[in-house]
């Protein structure tokens, strides 16, 4: 029985491997697929060998046709196993799936073997299969092994050796086993060999299990979450740092324009410079983290290259100040004026290089050259900045673009910097598919050359002329009306100070709700500057509500400290007309003013009719404004102490707004949220004034008043509060004899008018 025990043990062994293999979720690869087929085939082969053995031990059956067929099937099993093994070797060697080829090979080999004659040799009680059919199997095996060896030799290196271990084992163990079987044909060792090879394959197969991948994906998710948290943190930090910076820069700028002593002016300049440095650092850190999180996007659009270069020259001149450097500018005159690309990033790249040149050059010159190569509709901008500064050691040049890396530290102890500028510049140049080259002679100077390709939109377009024309206009708002919406009073002050000199008529409010109230009351503004991060109602939410109003056409500009990269785009996508980051940069502010004031002014220039309408508005302003301010003075110390007021509204938020507005007048307020509750209260107590909402479920304002009038001795004045438009309101007031009317939202003055009239 020795022969069958090898086969039985091997069969159990393979079944165990199969159970372990299939019990784990795995990625389906060609190797895995072949391996699982080999296991199934081996199990089938094992069962067949055992069956065959029982045919032999049951005397007489070995002569039968069943034994013949069973022997043939076993031979086909051997052949198929060999083919699958070769298929496996080809899969790990060529990383390609030759499935069809191997199917054909299996079919043809099977057919050949089936038709070849099969003989038997008697060995003791066993009939051992022999003859051409068996030789064909041996020869096929030999060929498969040779092909496998060739494939192995072609692919073999340190990394792949492990994968070929089953093949090497197959050759060695298979060789020995064939020899043993030859000497003792009673021993059936083939299944034993197959099980060992399968066992080896189980461990050598490249088998990333799903669990591991799931862990990797969980880790990735966690990392993404952490990254998100980092971005949020940075965005908040940016906001928090920018808000006080806004006040510092804004006030310093305005202080500079006041009549202050020279010594103070110097200090103010230092404050501005230090604040701008701090701002640059904040921006740099934000940029680099955006780049690292792959969140930095290149936003392409049409732009006027000439105006960008002019601006860069102006900025650099300002930076050079009285440093006494010669600034040579050499810009190719044939440069196409309208290009397509990310102008903001292009400007940032060039400005970084120019700023460094100014920073690291004490005396001598800075040479700024822009040349172009035009091919088809592509313009290659070649920008070079050469300076006669401290230069960079040759060995330091490779470190130049690493973040937080500052070179020549001993030479530049007094020069401020973070070592982020060039790292950002390089990343941006890469993102724009450009190139940057550095040449330097230590102690003599450096030259940075950048090349960036941009699409040409127009060589000499109208747009540019318009831009140029508009730029030359003197900015004066002629009393155009501006509303600043910001929850931070200090920010309002800064913006007011900065905008004042452009002769704007400035109003402000500290919440989205107030802004909505103003607009709903038909107050006309030419521009609204809107902060975003405000409690209760953010700038975005306010804008959404504003846009829902019929005929709302006022340009709304996001004025926000939320200034990380990409924010501008986000705000524009939200529907804001433009974007201004805090701290407010004078240049940016002027750009916006030019853009929107010019719009207003050009409208007025184009049509006399508009001019007239505008002058009417101006009259309105002059009539309204003094009244407002004088009213304000009066109301500051107004008090209706001891007066009892009942406010009725089904909307809790409206109740809160009314309570808040009334609080200042030291009245005692009772709020209820339905008509029936109002009637109950009125029966209990006599109120000095009742504010009654118009639209409420069950009992509306008018029906409630009807009911109130039926109460014995009821004579409290009742004011109708309604959010509906003026239409039909007068009818209601007359029909139901309300004592007054208050629109929702109401202005302070309107409320005071009612209180004055009805409480005195
Ligand atoms: P930062 O200027 O904030 O230190 P950068 O990334 O812009 O950071 O520059 C990295 C370093 O490269 C600088 O610290 C300086 O040593 C060197 N460097 C950059 N530009 C120049 C230049 N034009 N001349 C000499 N050294 C330069």
Interval between CA 353 and ligand 1 midpoint (Å): 9
Interval between CA 359 and ligand 1 midpoint (Å): 8
Closest CA to 89 of 137, 135, 26, 153: 153
Q: Is 421 in the pocket of ligand 1 (CB under 6 A)?
A: yes
- Minimum mean pLDDT range among 71-85, 610-624, 689-703: 610-624
Higher-pLDDT residue of 258 and 35 is 35
Residue 606 has pLDDT above 60, yes or no: no
Nearest atom (ligand 1) to Cα of 418? 3
Residue 465 has pLDDT above 50, yes or no: no
Structural contact between residues 74 and 113, judged by C-beta atoms closer than 8 angstroms: no
Residue 178 has a CB neighbour count (10 Å cut-off) of 15
Q: What is the C-alpha separation between 109 and 106, in angstroms, rounded? A: 5
Nearest atom (ligand 1) to Cα of 406? 14
Interval between CA 392 and ligand 1 midpoint (Å): 8
Distances (CA, A) of 556 to 225, 271, 471, 477, 583: 33, 31, 22, 16, 18
Residue 40 has pLDDT above 90, yes or no: yes
Considering 297-306, 446-455, 576-585, the range whose residues carry the highest mean pLDDT is 446-455
Instruction: Give the pLDDT of residue 512.
Output: 92
Instruction: Give the pLDDT of residue 32.
Output: 87
Instruction: Give the pLDDT of residue 366.
Output: 95
Confidence of residue 14 (pLDDT cuts 50, 70, 90): very high
Confidence of residue 471 (pLDDT cuts 50, 70, 90): very low
Confidence of residue 743 (pLDDT cuts 50, 70, 90): confident
Q: Is 417 in the pocket of ligand 1 (CB under 6 A)?
A: yes
Instruction: Give the pLDDT of residue 624.
Output: 28
Instruction: Give the pLDDT of residue 756.
Output: 86
SS (H, E, C) 479-503: CCEEEEECCCHHHHHHHHHHHHCCC
**Protein residue with its CA nearest to atom 2 in ligand 1:** 417
Residue 370 has pLDDT above 90, yes or no: yes
Q: Is 351 in the pocket of ligand 1 (CB under 6 A)?
A: no
Residue 153 has pLDDT above 60, yes or no: yes
Instruction: Give the pLDDT of residue 125.
Output: 64
Instruction: Give the pLDDT of residue 541.
Output: 93
Nearest atom (ligand 1) to Cα of 352? 7
Residue 97 has pLDDT above 80, yes or no: yes
Higher-pLDDT residue of 747 and 519 is 519
Nearest atom (ligand 1) to Cα of 405? 10
Q: Is 289 in the pocket of ligand 1 (CB under 6 A)?
A: no
Q: What is the C-alpha separation between 550 and 118, in angstroms, rounded? A: 96
Q: What is the C-alpha separation between 512 and 515, in angstroms, rounded? A: 5
State pLDDT tens for residues 645-694.
999 988 776 787 788 778 888 889 999 989 999 999 998 888 999 999 88
Pocket of ligand 1, candidates 288, 364, 390, 419: which has the most ligand atoms within 8 Å of its Cβ, to mutate? 419
Residue 85 has pLDDT above 60, yes or no: yes
Instruction: Give the pLDDT of residue 412.
Output: 57
Tell me the mean pLDDT in the region 278-291.
Answer: 75
**Protein residue with its CA nearest to atom 3 in ligand 1:** 417
Interval between CA 320 and ligand 1 midpoint (Å): 16
Q: What is the C-alpha separation between 419 and 413, in angstroms, rounded? A: 13
Confidence of residue 12 (pLDDT cuts 50, 70, 90): very high
Identify the bridge partners of residue 642 per DSSP, sorted by sequence position.
none
Residue 428 has pLDDT above 50, yes or no: yes
Tell me the mean pLDDT in the region 80-89.
Answer: 94
Residue 202 has pLDDT above 70, yes or no: yes
**Protein residue with its CA nearest to atom 11 in ligand 1:** 406
pTM above 0.85, yes or no: no
Tell me the mean pLDDT in the region 583-606.
Answer: 66
Structural element, H or E, at residue 648: strand 644-648
- Minimum mean pLDDT range among 145-154, 168-177, 446-455, 631-640: 631-640
Instruction: Give the pLDDT of residue 628.
Output: 27
Distances (CA, A) of 557 to 2, 65, 565, 579: 92, 94, 17, 5
Tell me the mean pLDDT in the region 387-412.
Answer: 77
Catalogue the E-assigned strands of 160-241.
Answer: none
Confidence of residue 700 (pLDDT cuts 50, 70, 90): confident
Residue 423 has pLDDT above 50, yes or no: yes
Higher-pLDDT residue of 627 and 644 is 644
Pocket of ligand 1, candidates 357, 410, 422, 427: which has the most ligand atoms within 8 Å of its Cβ, to mutate? 422
Distances (CA, A) of 45 to 10, 145, 476: 11, 20, 95
Q: Is 479 in the pocket of ligand 1 (CB under 6 A)?
A: no
**Protein residue with its CA nearest to atom 7 in ligand 1:** 421
Instruction: Give the pLDDT of residue 225.
Output: 85
Interval between CA 355 and ligand 1 midpoint (Å): 9
Interval between CA 269 and ligand 1 midpoint (Å): 24
Q: 131 — alpha (psi -120 to 50), left (phi > 0) or beta?
A: left
Residue 619 has pLDDT above 60, yes or no: no
Tell me the mean pLDDT in the region 428-443.
Answer: 90
Q: Is 392 in the pocket of ligand 1 (CB under 6 A)?
A: yes
Q: Is 406 in the pocket of ligand 1 (CB under 6 A)?
A: yes
Q: Is 285 in the pocket of ligand 1 (CB under 6 A)?
A: no
Query: What does DSSP say about strands 338-341 and 445-458: parallel, antiparallel, or unpaired?
Result: antiparallel
DSSP 3-state assignment of 206?
coil
Interval between CA 314 and ligand 1 midpoint (Å): 21
DSSP 3-state assignment of 665?
coil
Instruction: Give the pLDDT of residue 291.
Output: 72
Distances (CA, A) of 490 to 50, 123, 493, 495, 586: 93, 107, 5, 9, 18
Considering 389-393, 495-499, 733-737, the range whose residues carry the highest mean pLDDT is 389-393
Instruction: Give the pLDDT of residue 691.
Output: 92
Tell me the mean pLDDT in the region 390-394.
Answer: 89
Instruction: Give the pLDDT of residue 189.
Output: 83
Residue 203 has a CB neighbour count (10 Å cut-off) of 10
Structural contact between residues 688 and 644, judged by C-beta atoms closer than 8 angstroms: yes
Nearest atom (ligand 1) to Cα of 423? 6
Tell me the mean pLDDT in the region 379-386.
Answer: 92
Instruction: Give the pLDDT of residue 96.
Output: 80
Q: End-to-end CA distance of the chain: give it in Å, rounded.
A: 120
Interval between CA 563 and ligand 1 midpoint (Å): 25
Burial of residue 409 (CB within 10 Å: 0-12, 13-18, 19+) is exposed
State pLDDT tens for residues 306-356.
888 988 998 899 888 888 899 999 998 888 888 999 888 899 899 999 999
Confidence of residue 405 (pLDDT cuts 50, 70, 90): low
**Protein residue with its CA nearest to atom 19 in ligand 1:** 356
Pocket of ligand 1, candidates 352, 354, 384, 406: which has the most ligand atoms within 8 Å of its Cβ, to mutate? 406
State pLDDT tens for residues 541-552.
999 999 988 888
Nearest atom (ligand 1) to Cα of 411? 16
Instruction: Give the pLDDT of residue 265.
Output: 86
Tell me the mean pLDDT in the region 693-719.
Answer: 87
Residue 527 has pLDDT above 60, yes or no: yes
Interval between CA 360 and ligand 1 midpoint (Å): 7
Interval between CA 648 and ligand 1 midpoint (Å): 67
Structural contact between residues 90 and 151, judged by C-beta atoms closer than 8 angstroms: yes
Q: What is the C-alpha separation between 474 and 419, in angstroms, rounded? A: 39
**Protein residue with its CA nearest to atom 16 in ligand 1:** 407
Interval between CA 397 and ligand 1 midpoint (Å): 10
Q: Is 596 in the pocket of ligand 1 (CB under 6 A)?
A: no
Residue 280 has pLDDT above 70, yes or no: yes
Catalogue the E-assigned strands of 445-572.
Answer: 445-458, 481-485, 505-509, 527-530, 556-560
Residue 161 has pLDDT above 60, yes or no: yes
Interval between CA 517 and ligand 1 midpoint (Å): 52
DSSP 3-state assignment of 466?
helix
Burial of residue 329 (CB within 10 Å: 0-12, 13-18, 19+) is middle
Q: What is the C-alpha separation between 228 and 289, in angstroms, rounded? A: 11
Instruction: Give the pLDDT of residue 404.
Output: 61
Instruction: Give the pLDDT of residue 16.
Output: 93
DSSP 3-state assignment of 200?
helix
Instruction: Give the pLDDT of residue 629.
Output: 30
Nearest atom (ligand 1) to Cα of 387? 23
Burial of residue 490 (CB within 10 Å: 0-12, 13-18, 19+) is middle
Residue 416 has pLDDT above 50, yes or no: yes
DSSP 3-state assignment of 420?
coil
Residue 473 has pLDDT above 70, yes or no: no
Interval between CA 243 and ligand 1 midpoint (Å): 29
Q: Is 360 in the pocket of ligand 1 (CB under 6 A)?
A: yes
Q: What is the C-alpha separation between 367 and 309, in angstroms, rounded? A: 14
In percent, the amount of the chain with pLDDT more than 90 equals: 27
Q: Is 91 in the pocket of ligand 1 (CB under 6 A)?
A: no
Query: What does DSSP say about strands 740-743 and 718-722: parallel, antiparallel, or unpaired?
Result: parallel
**Protein residue with its CA nearest to atom 17 in ligand 1:** 407
Identify the bridge partners of residue 445 per DSSP, sorted by sequence position.
441
């Amino acid at each position: 029985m020795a022969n069958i025990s090898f086969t039985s043990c091997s069969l159990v062994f393979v079944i165990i491997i199969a159970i372990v293999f299939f019990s784990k979720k795995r990625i389906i690869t060609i190797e895995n697929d072949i391996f699982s087929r080999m296991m199934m085939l081996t199990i089938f082969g094992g069962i067949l060998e055992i069956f065959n053995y029982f045919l032999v031990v049951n005397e007489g059956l070995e002569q039968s046709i069943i034994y013949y067929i069973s022997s043939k099937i076993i031979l086909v099993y051997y052949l198929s196993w060999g083919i699958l093994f070769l298929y496996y070797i080809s899969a790990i060697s060529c990383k390609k799936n030759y499935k069809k080829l191997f199917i054909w090979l299996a079919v043809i080999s099977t057919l050949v073997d089936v038709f070849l004659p099969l003989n038997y040799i008697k060995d003791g009680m066993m009939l051992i299969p022999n003859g051409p059919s068996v030789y064909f199997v041996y020869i096929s095996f030999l060929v498969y092994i040779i092909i496998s060896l060739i494939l192995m030799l072609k692919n073999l290196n340190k990394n792949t050796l492990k994968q070929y271990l089953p093949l090497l084992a197959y050759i060695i163990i298979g060789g020995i086993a064939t020899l043993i079987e030859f000497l003792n044909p009673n021993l059936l060792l083939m299944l034993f060999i197959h099980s060992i090879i399968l066992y080896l394959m189980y461990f050598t197969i490249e088998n990333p299990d799903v669990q591991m991948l799931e862990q990797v994906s969980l880790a990735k998710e966690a990392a993404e979450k952490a990254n998100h948290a980092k971005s949020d943190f940075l965005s908040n930090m940016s906001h928090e740092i920018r808000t006080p910076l806004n006040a510092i820069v804004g006030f310093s700028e305005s202080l500079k324009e006041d009549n202050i002593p020279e010594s103070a002016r110097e200090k103010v300049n230092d404050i501005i410079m230090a604040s701008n440095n701090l701002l640059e650092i904040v921006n740099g850190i934000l940029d680099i983290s955006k780049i690292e999180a792959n969140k930095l996007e290149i936003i392409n659009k049409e732009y006027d290259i000439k105006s960008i270069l002019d601006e860069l020259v102006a900025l650099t001149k300002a930076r050079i100040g009285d440093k006494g450097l010669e600034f040579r500018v050499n810009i190719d005159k044939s440069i196409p004026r309208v290009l397509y690309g990310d102008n903001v990033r292009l400007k940032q790249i060039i400005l970084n290089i120019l700023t460094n040149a100014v920073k690291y050059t004490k005396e001598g010159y800075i040479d700024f050259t822009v040349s172009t190569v035009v091919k088809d509709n592509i313009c290659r901008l070649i920008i070079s900045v050469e300076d006669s500064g401290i230069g960079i050691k040759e060995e330091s040049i490779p470190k130049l673009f690493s973040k937080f890396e500052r070179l020549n530290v001993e030479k530049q102890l007094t020069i401020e910097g973070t070592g982020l500028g060039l790292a950002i510049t390089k990343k941006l140049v890469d993102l724009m598919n450009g190139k940057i080259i550095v040449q330097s002679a230590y102690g003599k100077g450096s030259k940075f050359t950048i090349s960036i390709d941009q699409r040409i939109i127009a060589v000499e377009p109208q747009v540019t002329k318009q831009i140029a024309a508009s730029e030359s206009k003197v900015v004066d708002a002629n009393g155009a009306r501006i509303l600043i919406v910001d929850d931070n009073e200090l920010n309002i002050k800064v913006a007011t100070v900065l905008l004042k000199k452009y002769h704007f008529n400035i109003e402000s409010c500290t919440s989205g709700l107030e802004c909505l109230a103003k607009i709903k009351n038909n107050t006309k503004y030419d521009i609204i500057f809107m902060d975003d991060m405000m409690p209760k109602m953010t700038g975005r939410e306010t804008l959404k509500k504003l846009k829902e109003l019929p005929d709302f056409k006022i340009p709304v500009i996001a004025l926000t400290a939320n200034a990380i990269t990409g924010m501008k785009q986000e705000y524009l996508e939200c529907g804001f007309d433009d974007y201004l980051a805090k701290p407010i940069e004078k240049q940016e502010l002027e750009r916006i003013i030019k853009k929107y004031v010019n719009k207003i002014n050009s409208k007025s220039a184009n049509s006399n009719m508009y001019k007239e309408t505008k002058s009417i508005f101006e009259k309105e302003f002059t009539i309204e404004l003094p009244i407002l301010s004088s009213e304000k003075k009066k109301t500051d110390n107004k008090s209706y102490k001891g007066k009892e007021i009942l406010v009725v509204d089904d909307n809790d938020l409206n109740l809160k707004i009314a309570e808040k507005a009334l609080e200042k007048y030291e009245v005692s307020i009772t709020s209820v949220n339905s008509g029936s509750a109002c009637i109950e209260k009125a029966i209990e107590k006599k109120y000095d004034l009742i504010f009654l909402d118009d639209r409420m479920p069950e009992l509306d304002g008018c029906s409630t008043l009807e009911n109130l009038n039926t109460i014995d001795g009821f004579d409290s004045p009742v004011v109708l509060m309604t959010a509906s438009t003026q239409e039909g309101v007068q009818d209601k007031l007359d029909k139901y004899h309300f004592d007054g009317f208050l629109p929702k939202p109401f202005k302070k003055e309107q409320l005071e008018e009612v209180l004055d009239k009805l409480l005195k």
